[in-house]
């Protein structure tokens, strides 16, 4: 299996590296975000390029479609992401269900870890939901930044404390208001059960 990389040099959250393959079909293996300590390309080098540097490649219609939609998202234009190009087969059934459910969380809304656990069919597994999201290899497309704590604080992102500024930026791109580490104003929790819909504040 030959892997390629594509580097997005500028975005509101810094450099982004996409690891992808084109055979036997186009699939994204991982979307790597930068953090204050390392760029995405440095993280990719440590994880994927121990023996040989990956070729930079943009020669893919599917990849270019993904890049276009990501650019639209960052520029706050209409966008449409899809699970079609994500390699979801590498997850356990529970992890896959969490990620697929998170994918449905729409722009401008957030979910709680407990709410996502319930929507995923495992209402008591909110800690496992947190672990699954912390290992989400497809941030932006699967918007794990849209899951927050029940008290309105934004919680973790990408499994590292350094990712919180990126999470805050992405939530603000979604149109939510953040003060410090907490969502404020009329930012509502998305509810898959409309009878239990609540407000964060």
Alpha-carbon distance values, 32 to 40, 138, 141, 169, 188 (Å): 5, 8, 12, 16, 28
Cα gap 72→54, rounded to integer Å: 27
Is 6 noted as a catalytic residue in this protein?
Answer: no
Going by the DSSP 8-state scheme, the letter that residue 80 receives in this structure is -
> 147 is written with which tokens?
């899951």
**Catalytic site residue from 98, 144, 170, 189:** 144
Confirm if 110 and 148 have CB atoms less than 8 A apart: yes
Alpha-carbon distance values, 27 to 100, 105, 109, 131 (Å): 16, 22, 28, 23
The sign of the dihedral angle between the CA atoms of 108, 190, 131, 156 is positive
Which positions are catalytic? 144
């Amino acid at each position: 299996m030959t892997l390629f990389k594509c580097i997005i040099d500028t975005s509101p959250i810094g450099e982004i590296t996409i690891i992808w393959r084109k055979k036997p079909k186009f699939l994204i293996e991982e979307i790597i975000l930068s953090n204050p300590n390392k760029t995405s390309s440095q993280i990719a080098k440590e994880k994927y390029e121990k023996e040989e540097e990956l070729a930079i490649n943009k020669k893919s219609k599917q990849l270019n479609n993904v890049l276009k939609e990501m650019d639209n998202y960052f520029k706050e234009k209409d966008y449409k992401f899809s699970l079609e190009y994500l390699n979801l087969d590498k997850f356990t059934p529970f992890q896959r269900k969490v990620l697929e459910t998170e994918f449905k969380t729409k722009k401008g809304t957030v979910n709680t870890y407990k709410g996502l656990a319930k929507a995923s069919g495992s209402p008591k597994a909110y800690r496992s939901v947190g672990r699954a999201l912390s290992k989400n290899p497809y941030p932006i497309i699967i918007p794990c930044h849209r899951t927050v704590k029940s008290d309105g604080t934004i919680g973790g992102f990408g499994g590292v404390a350094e990712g919180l500024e990126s999470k805050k930026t992405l939530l603000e791109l979604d149109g939510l208001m953040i003060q410090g580490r907490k969502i404020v104003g009329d930012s509502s929790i998305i509810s898959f059960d409309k009878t239990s819909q609540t407000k964060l504040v």
